[in-house]
Structure 1
């Protein structure tokens, strides 16, 4: 089964379980924008922040940056940046707000973007196979109660501590740089 067939199978399986998966082949841009409350155009400047909604994020190994764009526009930018990078593979995007709506529940716009670089991720799993529980990498794009839009991701140094990974500083630094660049658009 090639990657495209695997992704279709995964999307179909998740859909059968009542989950909605958004991604390059699963949802249109208008679908994603429909689920966002503040869809406005702005520049891509971001600032590092820890918000009240993220509560204890730093202690949990999470890095959160604020986006000046809507959730939909931020997700679209991140997906385009991943697709434009030959080293990265966009796995999918999961629209948690749409899934909540399908279950009759309310959730502010929240989209999880899954992507990876097998050349780097494999090195982490070779050092500690349990790192696979945290791979592929993820960026959570979410709207806070006050309307701000944030991008949150796992700090690679925290993941190294969590999985007792040593001797992979170059890989961890490359991953950290990629995550920051994708989150901030920088």
Structure 2
């Protein structure tokens, strides 16, 4: 089941490895990491036992600022985020918002939409 506007990819890495690799790749590009949340650990605090699930919140204030200047409502989808989780079949999955969906949602220009495209970074970190 793919939710509308979400790109989901499978990975051979563990959840932790995916988020570690992504965090390192983003930092190397000068992108700010705002938060990393182990949602499995957080759910356990509420008595819910989830399989591994991590969340990474990141962005570039200057570039994100251009998008929010164009349409302040885009702050609902910014900073960017990626999640990785392990399903019941012991497979790791990675998901992020589709930039074309965000483009349509906020009537963004192609130039602004290009800022949102994290697909190449995700593809690179999923490769061995």
Q: TM-score, normalised by structure 2?
A: 0.90
Structure 2 distance, partners of 1:92, 1:156, is 21
Question: 1:145 Cα deviation (Å)?
Answer: 1.8
Point out where structure 1 has 5 or more consecutive residues left out of the alignment.
Answer: 1-54
Match of residue 105 from structure 1: 48
Deviations 1:48-103 (A, max 9, x none): xxxxxxx132xx100011111000111111111111112x1111111111011111
Q: Which residue number corresponds to residue 23 of structure 1?
A: none
1:56 aligns with 2:40: no
The verdict on how the C-alpha distance between 1:170 and 1:89 changes in structure 2, with shifts beyond 3 A counting, is same
2:37 pairs with 87, 90, 94, which one? 94
Whole-Å Cα distance in 2 between the matches of residues 174 and 125 of structure 1?
Answer: 12
Check if 1:76 corresponds to 2:76. no
> Post-superposition, which runs of at least 4 consecutive aligned residues in structure 1 deviate over 3 A?
none
Q: Higher Cα Rg: structure 1 or 2?
A: 1
Q: Which has the higher strand share?
A: 2
Query: Do residues 173 (structure 1) and 105 (structure 2) align?
Result: no
CA deviations on 1:110-131 (whole Å, 9 max, x unpaired) are 1110000122211211111100
Report the count of equivalent residues: 125
SS in 2 for 1:147: coil
The residue number in structure 2 matching 1:183 is 122
Q: How does 1:87-166 map onto structure 2 within 5 Å?
A: 88-165=31-108
Distance 1:82 1:145 in 2: 29
Which has the higher relative contact order, 1 or 2, with Cα contacts under 8 A spaced 6 or more apart? 2
- Counterpart CA distance in 2 for 1:124 and 1:180 is 18
Q: Give the superposition deviation at 1:104.
A: 1.2
Q: Unaligned 5+ residue runs, structure 2? A: none
Per-residue Cα deviation, 1:137-179 (whole angstroms, up to 9, x for no partner): 00011112211111100011111211232xx212312421xx1
Question: CA RMSD for the aligned pairs?
Answer: 1.4
